[in-house]
């Protein structure tokens, strides 16, 4: 009896191992959103790693998470090392390629809760609509799936859980980018108004000067 139970347990373990091993060896997660802002407005929030704290979905999971920045301030060579609670873990993100204002490519190394290195890309594609210029933003991550990751993926599919994080992050990015776009437009209008007022004042001053010159000439 005991022998049969042991054989059954071993068989179940073997089946479980086979099922895990049969999982895809590569994980790819991809999410997109449309932002009512020009790529030049969206790009700095992605290209400067210190700006990620304003929209990253993971920073909300641990408000006390810590970030250490090194390398370049932004663009290629910029590095961000983070540490946080069990939900955030520990890892490092490095920008390997930056093409303003349309693409940022990164290596993302997860140290805790498990070790792996993923390749992440954020593409910002400009589009013109009847309402004006917008950006289609696509966040994609691809990387290897080891045995432990495959086992975890069976119980909590990464495509769904991390994909949900991507969706939240893109929603946050949309909010701050559109707010910044409105601020940029308002600032541009104020600048144009100020320039127009200055030009009008200069023209008025010039006209007054010319009128004064003519008056002085007549008196002579």
- For the whole model, what pTM was predicted? 0.80
Dist CA 119 CA 109 (whole Å):
9
Please give the pLDDT value at position 71. 94
What digits encode the pLDDT tens for the residues 7-23?
A: 666 666 666 566 555 56
Q: Which residues of 45-60 are buried (b: 16+ CB within 10 A; e: fewer)?
A: bbbbbeebeebbbbbb
Cβ atoms within 10 Å, residue 130:
4
CA atoms within 13 A on the CB side of 193: 6
Band the pLDDT of 160: cuts 50, 70, 90: confident
Which of the pair, 13 or 185, is modelled with greater confidence?
Answer: 185
Dist CA 26 CA 109 (whole Å):
15
pLDDT at residue 142 greater than cutoff 80: yes
Of the spans 111-115, 118-122, 143-147, 194-198, which averages the highest pLDDT?
118-122
Which of the pair, 175 or 210, is modelled with greater confidence?
Answer: 175
């Amino acid at each position: 009896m005991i022998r049969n139970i042991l054989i059954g347990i071993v068989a179940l373990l073997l089946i479980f191992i086979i099922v895990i091993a049969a999982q895809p060896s590569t994980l790819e997660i991809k999410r997109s959103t449309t932002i009512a802002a020009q790529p030049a407005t969206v790009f700095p929030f992605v290209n400067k790693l210190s700006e990620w704290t304003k929209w990253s979905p993971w920073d909300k999971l641990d408000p006390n998470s810590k970030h250490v920045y090194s390398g370049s301030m932004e663009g290629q060579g910029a590095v961000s090392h983070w540490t946080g609670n069990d939900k955030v873990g520990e890892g490092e993100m490095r920008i390997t390629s930056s093409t303003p204002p349309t693409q940022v490519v990164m290596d993302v190394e997860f140290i805790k809760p498990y070790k792996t290195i993923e390749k992440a890309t954020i593409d910002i594609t400009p589009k013109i609509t009847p309402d004006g210029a917008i950006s289609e933003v696509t966040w994609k991550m691809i990387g290897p799936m080891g045995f432990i990751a495959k086992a975890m993926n069976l119980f909590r599919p990464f495509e769904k859980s991390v994909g949900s994080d991507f969706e939240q992050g893109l929603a946050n990015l949309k909010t701050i980018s559109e707010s910044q776009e409105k601020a940029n437009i308002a600032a541009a209008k104020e600048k144009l108004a100020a320039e127009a007022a200055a030009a009008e004042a200069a023209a008025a001053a010039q006209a007054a000067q010319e009128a004064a010159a003519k008056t002085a000439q007549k008196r002579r």
